[in-house]
Amino acid sequence: MANEENKNIKLRVEDLTLIFGKRKKEALAMLNKGVSKEEILRKTKCTVGINKANFEVFEGEIFVVMGLSGSGKSTLIRCLNRLNEPTAGKVFFKDHDITRAGNKELMDTRRNEMSMVFQNFGLLPHRTILDNATFGLELRGDSKEARYERGMEVLETVGLKGYEEHYPGAMSGGMQQRVGLARALANNTDVLLMDEAFSALDPLIKSDMQDELLQIQGKLHKTIVFITHDLDEAFKIGDRIAIMKDGVIEQIGTAEEILSNPASDYIKAFIEKVDRKTVITAETLMFRKPTIVQLGKDGPKGAIRKMRSTGVYVLPVENTERKFLGYVELKDVIQLARQKERTVEKALQTDVPSVHREYTVEEMIPLISENSYPIAVVDRKSGRLHGLVTQTSIVIEATRYDDDEVTELIEKANEI
Amino acid sequence: MKKVIDLGKYIEIAINYLQVTFSPIWDAMDDGISWTVDNMTAFLLSIPFVVLLIAITFLAYYANAGRRSLKKEGFKKGLGLSIFIIFGFLLIYGMGYWKEAIQTTTLVLVSTVIALIIGIPFGVLSAKSKIADAVIKPILDFMQTMPAFVYLIPAIFFFSVGNTPGVIATVIFSVPPAVRLTSLGIRNVQKEVIEAGRAFGATENQILFKIELPLAMPTILTGVNQVILLSLSMVVIASMVGARGLGSIVYQGIQQNNVAKGFESGLGIVILAIMLDRITQAFANKNQINKDE
């Protein structure tokens, strides 16, 4: 992300290690010496759950930890609020180390700073929805009136108004998880830990809940650590994603960074299945700093010279405020040069496709068949040109995913 | 056969020692239990038969029908047991064993309450601690497999004859299911629910009282049901040490070879057993329904 430096770090995890088994110290010493996991298991019968995880979570972002079962992702999130006790390493929250917190401090953190949503909801079947949603408040000793007032508020936020007196057993999975989410929101904590929160839901409901979460997040700007085994889910909701394998974080980055630059073969194999069209954006595909014709500065002859030196027959045009205007074509400028025109204005094609940098390949595909110009990526505010995306690169991106789509595109192109 | 190991002798010495050293405690227990049993019996007998009959019939009806008491489906559910209780109680009353039935009920209820007061905390302990579980389990096995008659001997030793040794022997015999089912109920509580409690900053006590015990309640209530039935099965044996009630009539029937007496009082016990079993089971089930509704 471009402005990473300006972001406040909410959670910082340093060399977090968790070892299961009885001879932890021995295993840790071996791990520090660089002995392999298998060797450690054989010699000490200890399993390395998490192996020196390092990452930061910024304020207001959704940080997704992705991994298959057994990768240690659920163990990792449980170290953040110490449902699992880390063997070594530090977890900084607001610059104090949670792993060193005393009982009282830890309790306080869990009650007021971090709340959690669970895969199988973890609701209490003998309590009503309202009593479930306000359970965290009850535990920390809020008064009944304050509790219920807040409870009604959060139930409305998650769309469960009117269900206060129902019992969880009578509700669908999606609705139960809404209660789980309401319970986590009720404590009004800055940090939300979500452990496979939507994994137990049907695909359709899952997708709804993801949208809902993004919508709620748009309003509340929580700092969310989200665990999932579903890469599509990770790419959909994650601002940044950490991919875990065998207790090791293999790569951290935005969806695009991971897709366009996978750090290992494991990740490469993983992302092959992902629908790249929906993830790769104009910003990744565009070539930056293209040669530009400036209206009012470059005349037709200047434009021809630039085209000759770059070997293209179409160039983008900007005005003196560097706002993108359109394209000029070689054949038009040659005519203008013959007519001894001073500017290229008459040759300017303004009806051209332009997108913003966050447009995905999928959104750019329809623009291809309209004409043969490259697609201009312009700034939303200033209208300045960031770069150009050639139609070829879009087709290539699309073809990596689906052969039929390419055939279709080629057919369309031929028709025109 | 020649006796090589005289274990019984050492047990006897130990029991003797305990009896002498802690006699004030035994006396206090005797006084407390006798007082409770006597007063409760007297109280229940002071209520006119018809009033008590109606009260228990309604209790049974409510236990089965619950919140739907006034609706047709509730009526369907609750009617059977209510009719059974009315006829059963009239039969006991008509046979002339009402007083004995009340004495037996009191004995069973007092034993049950004591068994639960002891059993539930130990059940919690055995669910929470592996070491406690390892210690408690064999003791429970011992208590359940040792023939119930054996408890009567030291019980008389400590408390002489009367209701108290009957109650104590009954409690020893009926405590195991309370411990076992409490422990089972708590161990079966979904891990994630407890984890959720922890994640929201619950203390150990809050986890026990707000999560584990309520969720284990249906299982614990099954335990209560078992305790009551085991207590009832002990009333005849308890009557051998002087406990009063239907059991003592059965005992008399055996001694006098009186079939009529034995059958009548035995039938009375069966009626009480069915009533207590169905009512407690209905309460246990109701606890379960709450969740799924």
Indicate if A305 and A357 belong to the same structural domain. Answer: yes
Confidence class of residue A416 from pLDDT cuts 50, 70 and 90? low
- Extended beta strands in A221-374, E state: 223-228, 240-245, 248-253, 287-288, 293-294, 314-318, 324-329, 354-355
Q: Verify whether the Cβ–Cβ distance A116 to B190 is below 8 Å.
A: no
Question: Are the C-beta atoms of residues A130 and A55 closer than 8 Å to each other?
Answer: no
Confidence class of residue A184 from pLDDT cuts 50, 70 and 90? very high
Helix (H, G, I), strand (E, B) or coil at A13: strand
Indicate if A270 and A402 belong to the same structural domain. Answer: no
**Does B6 reach chain A within 8 Å, measured CB to CB?**
no
Residue A214 lies in a domain: no
Indicate if A103 and A12 belong to the same structural domain. Answer: yes
Q: In what order do the strands lie in the sheet with A248-253?
A: A114-117, A191-195, A223-228, A62-66, A240-245, A248-253
Residues A390, A199: Cα–Cα separation, whole Å: 38
Indicate if A287 and A265 belong to the same structural domain. Answer: no
Residue A335 lies in a domain: yes
**Domain residue ranges of chain B, discontinuous segments joined by +:** 7-46+96-292
pLDDT (tens digit, 9 = 90+) per residue, B87-140? Answer: 999 999 999 999 999 999 999 999 999 999 999 999 999 999 999 999 999 999
Q: How far is A390 from chain B (nearest CA, A)?
A: 51
- Chain A residues inside the 8 Å CB shell of B193: 122-124
pLDDT (tens digit, 9 = 90+) per residue, B58-90? Answer: 888 888 887 777 777 777 777 888 899 999 999
Residue A126, Cβ density class (10 Å: 0-12 exposed, 13-18 middle, ≥19 buried): buried
Q: At what angle do helices A300-310 and A330-338 cross, to 10 degrees?
A: 140
Those residues with Cβ within 8 angstroms of residue B268's Cβ, 6 or more apart along the chain or in another chain = B92, B95, B97, B100, B101, B104, B246, B249
Determine phi and psi for A336, rounding to 5 degrees.
Answer: -60, -40
pLDDT (tens digit, 9 = 90+) per residue, A359-369? Answer: 888 788 877 76
Residue A121 lies in a domain: no
Report the half-sphere exposure of A249 (CA within 13 A, side-chain side).
24
Mean pLDDT (chain B) is 88
Q: Provide the pLDDT for residue B292.
A: 46
- Chain A residues inside the 8 Å CB shell of B206: 139
Of A172, A173, A177, nearest in space to A133 by CA: A177
Residue A139 lies in a domain: no
Residue A186 lies in a domain: no
Helix (H, G, I), strand (E, B) or coil at A349: strand
pLDDT (tens digit, 9 = 90+) per residue, A104-139? Answer: 889 999 999 999 999 989 999 989 999 999 999 999
Question: Are the C-beta atoms of residues A176 and A168 closer than 8 Å to each other?
Answer: yes
**Option in B196, B198, B291 nearest A126 (CB):** B291
Residue A61 lies in a domain: yes
Across the range A51-77, mean pLDDT stands at 90
Indicate if A269 and A353 belong to the same structural domain. Answer: no
Of B183, B169, B27, nearest in space to B110 by CA: B169
- Chain B residues inside the 8 Å CB shell of A120: 190, 192
Considering only A19-23, A389-393, B203-207, B258-262, which range has the smallest mean pLDDT? Answer: A389-393
Q: Provide the pLDDT for residue A408.
A: 67
Q: Provide the pLDDT for residue B129.
A: 92
Residues B23, B36: Cα–Cα separation, whole Å: 20
Q: How far is A186 from chain B (nearest CA, A)?
A: 11
Domain boundary among A274, A301, A333: A274
Long-range contacts from B204-212, C-beta under 8 angstroms, 24+ separation: B206/A139, B208/B124, B210/A124, B210/A135, B210/A138, B210/A139, B211/A124, B212/B124, B212/B127, B212/B186
Question: Are the C-beta atoms of residues A147 and A183 closer than 8 Å to each other?
Answer: no
Indicate if A253 and A291 belong to the same structural domain. Answer: no
Specify the CATH number for the domain of residue A347.
3.10.580.10
Q: How far is B96 from chain A (nearest CA, A)?
A: 45
Indicate if A21 and A97 belong to the same structural domain. Answer: yes
Indicate if A270 and A309 belong to the same structural domain. Answer: no
Q: Provide the pLDDT for residue A222.
A: 92
pLDDT (tens digit, 9 = 90+) per residue, A223-265? Answer: 999 999 888 888 889 999 999 988 899 999 998 888 888 888 8
Helix (H, G, I), strand (E, B) or coil at A96: strand
pLDDT (tens digit, 9 = 90+) per residue, A93-113? Answer: 887 888 888 888 899 999 999
Indicate if A233 and A345 belong to the same structural domain. Answer: no
Indicate if A90 and A43 belong to the same structural domain. Answer: yes
Q: Verify whether the Cβ–Cβ distance B206 to A139 is below 8 Å.
A: yes
What is this structure's pTM? 0.74
Q: Verify whether the Cβ–Cβ distance B200 to A135 is below 8 Å.
A: yes
Q: Provide the pLDDT for residue B188.
A: 92
DSSP chain B: ------HHHHHHHHHHHHHHHTHHHHHHHHHHHHHHHHHHHHHHHHS-HHHHHHHHHHHHHHHHHGGGTTSHHHHHHHHHHHHHHHHHHHHHHHHT-HHHHHHHHHHHHHHHHHHHHHHHHHHHHHHH-HHHHHHHHHHHHHHHHS-HHHHHHHHHHHH-SSHHHHHHHHHHHHHHHHHHHHHHHHHTS-HHHHHHHHHTT--HHHIIIIIIHHHHHHHHHHHHHHHHHHHHHHHHHHHTTT--SHHHHHHHHHHHT-HHHHHHHHHHHHHHHHHHHHHHHHHHHHHHHHHH-
Residues A100, A361: Cα–Cα separation, whole Å: 47
pLDDT (tens digit, 9 = 90+) per residue, B185-229? Answer: 999 998 889 999 999 999 999 999 999 999 999 899 999 999 999
Q: How far is A115 from chain B (nearest CA, A)?
A: 6
Number of domains, chain A: 2
Counting residues of chain A whose pLDDT is more than 90, the rounded percentage is 31
pLDDT (tens digit, 9 = 90+) per residue, B133-188? Answer: 999 999 999 988 888 888 888 888 888 888 888 898 899 989 999 999 999 999 99
Those residues with Cβ within 8 angstroms of residue A400's Cβ, 6 or more apart along the chain or in another chain = A276
What's the topology of domain B7-46+96-292? Answer: MetI-like fold (1.10.3720)
**Domain membership of residue A261 as a residue range:** 1-113+192-206+224-274
State yes or no: pLDDT of B287 exceeds 70.
Answer: no
Indicate if A238 and A302 belong to the same structural domain. Answer: no
Radius of gyration of chain A (CA): 27
Across the range A381-408, mean pLDDT stands at 73
Between A and B, how many CB-CB pairs are < 8 A?
77
Q: Verify whether the Cβ–Cβ distance B198 to A83 is below 8 Å.
A: yes
Indicate if A289 and A395 belong to the same structural domain. Answer: yes
Highest mean pLDDT, choosing among A315-329, B29-43, B272-286: B29-43
